[in-house]
Chain A
Amino acid sequence: MGHDQNDGKGGCPQGVSRRGFFTAVGAGALGAATLGRSQTPGAPPAGAAEPTKVTLRVNGRAHTVLAEPRWTLLFVLRERLGLTGTKVGCERGECGACTVLLDGTPVYACMMLALEAEGHEVTTLEGLMNGEELGPVQQAFLQEDAFQCGYCTPGQIVAAEGLLRANPQPTLEEIRAGMSGNLCRCGTYAHIFKAVKKASELKKVAGR
């Protein structure tokens, strides 16, 4: 993304980053959560806040769960379906730990209501297994040593899978851009990019 690169003139010269600021002022301001809610009773037919039956197709299987509208896909995957391969990170669409595939395309499960996933095919890390064996992207991450603490890894692997499905032979630039929605606090990016390249080769050999 050459045209996007900062030329070094910009940045945050004052030394306060957006992210740093949030930690400093504390974003845990949920006390104001009901701010602006209407008090008006007897409004036109509104959607129910009660749990609703929803059928989700996850990794090729249909699951019917009772879900509250406010539950994110991330919450339902982990807390109702027990699919803990999908990780909880920022819950603000900033880190990518919660990446899943929706109809084959990477999305953040923390930024999507579970009810919205109805009618779509969800694929999680668990769905990338090759039976009892690791799938090609998982294998590549292992071979290239593409993690340290491993917390971001499930999201990285799912994002890589989505990238390779759309673009089976990405260039390094395309890999960097395609993986830019996944942060790694351990900074293993160089290895992650190598692993994605490796995965594209493994997939080609395996024909999948």
Chain B
Amino acid sequence: MLPGFGYARPRNLREAVHLLSAPGARVQAGGTDLLGCLRDGVFGVDTVVSLSGVPDLRGIRRALDGGLVVGAMTTLSEVAAPTDVVKGYPTLAQGAAAAASPQLRNQGTIGGNICQRPRCWYFRGDFHCARKGGEKCFAAEGENQFHCIFGGDVCFIVHPSDTAPALVALEAVVRITGPNGSRSVPAEKFFILPETDYTRENVLTAGEIVTEIVLPPQPAGTRGTYRKVRARGSWDFALAGAAVVATITAGKVERARIVLSGVAPTPWRVPDAERAIVGRRLNKRTVRDAAAAALKGAQTMSGNAYKVELLRGTVEEALLALA
């Protein structure tokens, strides 16, 4: 049985923002992450404010500039569905399809997916760790085989989302509404590292809601893919992954964005790896250079050194898939 809480199902965004201004109120999208956190006592909640009754937040539409606007309440299944619109953004569709299980994709939303809490077993378990306001990160000296090799500081989580790296690679923009109005934040700036604040994973402040995600139009010749490696074929979080979006003209890479999953507390962009392929053809050699560049600066702990080689292969495969 879950601990007790109140429940509200507002009919529109304004009502939702108002309800969320109450202390102890928390937004629920599909609930697939929130209910797990409540059940495990990761945090408590006084009132669950459900967004399921706000119809404007769900669905995918064309933007005026030819891009796409994906409502925060659009389910992962809907994002992954083989529609014409999603065909233009295969990196995102593949990310959504690679997340969780069929049932969870039917329930879980894209907004919830990028706002989900980390899966670190100390954070989820009975440990008063730094991210929960405690003194230290237990993973640093404990069991850390699923923890980060980049960007760790105080806390060493990996960001759990499979759609987030795609959104950063696609230069998506996250639209947010809160008590002080609306703002837009590039996906790349939406996620924050422990060095900025090790108790949060993103820039959202109290009472703010992600309303939609804007995908800019992609130049002709743009291709993309998401390669995820997990410990088994069935549902599991990424051990390592790479979201790639590249524009290729006359056989050469004109621009590229490479963003890693499963290896850092945020989707981890690797500009050096991008530079290694821009202006060049994608072949075994350039791809090897790019993967080597992607690994620069990796810092392993007692249990996660395997991620370095795993990531090398993952980046190489993702890039070769676009060749």
Most interface-central of B4, B35, B239 (chain A CB within 10 A): B35
Note all chain A residues with C-beta closer than 8 A to B126: 25-29, 31-32
Most interface-central of B41, B101, B236 (chain A CB within 10 A): B101
Instruction: Count residues of chain A with CB under 8 A from any CB of chain B.
Output: 72
Note all chain B residues with C-beta closer than 8 A to A5: 233
Note all chain A residues with C-beta closer than 8 A to B28: 113
**Is chain A's binding surface mostly helix, strand, loop or mixed?**
loop
Q: Are B5 and A45 in contact (CB under 8 A)?
A: no
Partner of A70, one of B5, B102, B231, B313: B5
Partner-binding segment picked from B19-27, B65-73, B245-253 = B19-27
Instruction: Count residues of chain B with CB under 8 A from any CB of chain A.
Output: 76
User: Which single residue of chain B is at the shortest CB-CB distance from A15?
Assistant: B145
Q: Are B231 and A47 in contact (CB under 8 A)?
A: no
In the complex, whether A171 has a CB less than 8 A from a CB of chain B is no
Alpha-carbon distance A76/B28, docked complex (angstroms): 20
Within 8 A of A (CB), among B20-77: 21-25, 28, 30-32, 35-36, 38-50, 52, 77
Q: Are B231 and A12 in contact (CB under 8 A)?
A: yes
Alpha-carbon distance A205/B46, docked complex (angstroms): 52
Q: Are A14 and B145 in contact (CB under 8 A)?
A: yes
Alpha-carbon distance A180/B195, docked complex (angstroms): 37
In the complex, whether B322 has a CB less than 8 A from a CB of chain A is no
Note all chain B residues with C-beta closer than 8 A to A52: 7
Q: Are A43 and B240 in contact (CB under 8 A)?
A: no
User: Which single residue of chain B is at the shortest CB-CB distance from A68?
Assistant: B4
Most interface-central of B28, B103, B106, B309 (chain A CB within 10 A): B103
Note all chain B residues with C-beta closer than 8 A to A49: 4-7
Q: B residues engaging A (CB < 8 A)?
A: 1-9, 18-19, 21-25, 28, 30-32, 35-36, 38-50, 52, 77, 94, 98, 100-104, 106-107, 119, 121, 124-126, 128, 132, 143, 145-146, 225, 227-237, 239-240, 303, 306, 309-310, 313, 321
Q: A residues engaging B (CB < 8 A)?
A: 1, 3-7, 9-14, 16-18, 21-22, 25-38, 40, 43-49, 52, 68-72, 75, 91-94, 96, 99, 102, 105-108, 110-113, 115-116, 159, 163, 176-181, 183
